Chain A
Amino acid sequence: MKTVEIKEHRLLDLNATIDLIKNGRTLILSGDERVLSKLPAGKWIGGTIPYFYLKEGPGRLDKEHIFVTDFTDLLEDAKVAVYDANNLNEVCTNGFDNGFHFMILPALRDIHLSFALHSPDYPNLFANPLLGLIAGADLDEFTKGVLSKTFDGTTTKSFTDQAVVLHAKLPAHQVARLEIVNVFEPSNEVTLEFLQDGFVVQDCLINGQKGNLYEFIKENELDISYPLVSNYAGASVNVSFQRLDDENRQVIFYAPLFAGRKYTTSRKPNDYVQSFSEKATQALVNEQHVIYNCNCILNYLYGGLDKQSIGYSGATTFGEVAYQLLNQTFTYLAIDEG
């Protein structure tokens, strides 16, 4: 597989990360909460997640290391800001004339729902790329109620309900460009419509008839490792299943479903890694300078990225930010130069 070299984007141990922070580097960090909590103050933002995919071999669940992206040498300036659900819509009006906004949101909280619902209408949304990730946790802990956290490295404060953002400024001769690789395509075999916005679904319209989604999935043996797909603001966007709640006969998702939109199941790729490889190669063949990438935890799990490599290294996410909320999508940021 042809891959693009991404510099300063690697898994490091605690001491190496501390050294970078102490040297004043501008960093994006992903790691387990316990290791992120040991970091000193500096110019960094972070989000909890302990799953990583690796270029050099199989990925892994790792609570000791930190995935570090060092933007320092690219940037003319950068500033860190913290947003709550009330002012998150200002995220693209802050920052710099030319650059990008890197945002980390906590998973399955009100601010996550707010972003998913309202981001297409944010002022100045497309002036510079808005990218980032939804923080997560060890899945065993997350399903028992452990919350994901975001970190403002300038204060070392962590949050369960606030977003942290690195507003980055690029030199005038460079421009940042956000792209995605989505392996999944709509099947159009079934149409689903939801009665209200939210992450949790019981009843919905299934091919126009009211029914319980949990029971429909069970009866039809739908494979929930593949996302639902919908057209959001012109783009084909995945919404991934988190789990079936047997006790309450409901379905829980990683992103909200919205009333008034139509969803369908996705066509199954025969092999995720092969499908990803083909699509990524097609997308990245002309790229010269990719500076960041992330991939969904579900692509890690269902694509077997703990057993094989997709040719890139990165931290997994509980959702991707690419102007709007995405699921099960490989997202990357490229720099073009004049």
Chain B
Amino acid sequence: MQQTNQKYTIPPRDRKEWEMIVTGQIDHYFKNFVLQMKSNEYQRKIDRGVLTVEDATEDLYQLCEKYAIAVQNDFKEIFKEW
């Protein structure tokens, strides 16, 4: 379990769902406004070949570490538990 700078945690970096989010393999409508935009951005950039899946996954993970509280509702639906 990843401990963040807040009371909230996010799933470990090696969970396969991280990669599935950035590649659009998860059918989920994000409640969080930033995740709506970022997931779309990752998919567009990966499709255009300007961003690798690995870099996108790392970027998303770091963003979610900072904003752990904001992603809890979406992540409980996607990751279920961690």
A and B held together in a complex: yes
B5 to A179, Cβ gap below 8 A? no
- Give a binary string over B28-57; 1 marks a CB under 8 Å from any A CB, 0 the rest: 001001101111110000000000000000
Whether the pair A179, B67 counts as a contact (CB closer than 8 A) is no
A-B contact pairs, 13 of them (CB 8 A): A126-B37, A175-B5, A175-B66, A177-B67, A179-B70, A233-B40, A235-B33, A235-B40, A323-B33, A336-B6, A336-B67, A337-B6, A338-B6
Which 3 pairs of residues, A with B, have the shortest CB-CB distance?
A234-B40, A235-B36, A234-B36
* A82 part of interface (Cβ distance < 8 Å): no
Assembled-state Cα–Cα distance A178/B67 (Å): 10
Residues of B that sit less than 8 Å from A by CB: 5-7, 30, 33-34, 36-41, 63, 66-67, 69-70
CB-CB < 8 A to B66: which residues of A?
A: 175
Do most interface residues of chain A lie in helix, strand or loop, or is the interface mixed? strand
B residues less than 8 Å from A198 (CB atoms):
none
A336 touches B36 (CB 8 A): no
Count of A-B contacts judged by CB separation below 8 Å: 48
When A233-B41, A234-B39 are in contact, do A323 and B34 touch as well, CB less than 8 Å?
yes
Q: What's the least CB distance linking A44 to chain B, in Å?
A: 27
What is the minimal beta-carbon distance from B3 to any residue of chain A, in angstroms?
A: 10
Residues in B with CB closer than 8 Å to A336 are: 6, 67, 69-70
- CB nearest to A181 among chain B residues: B33
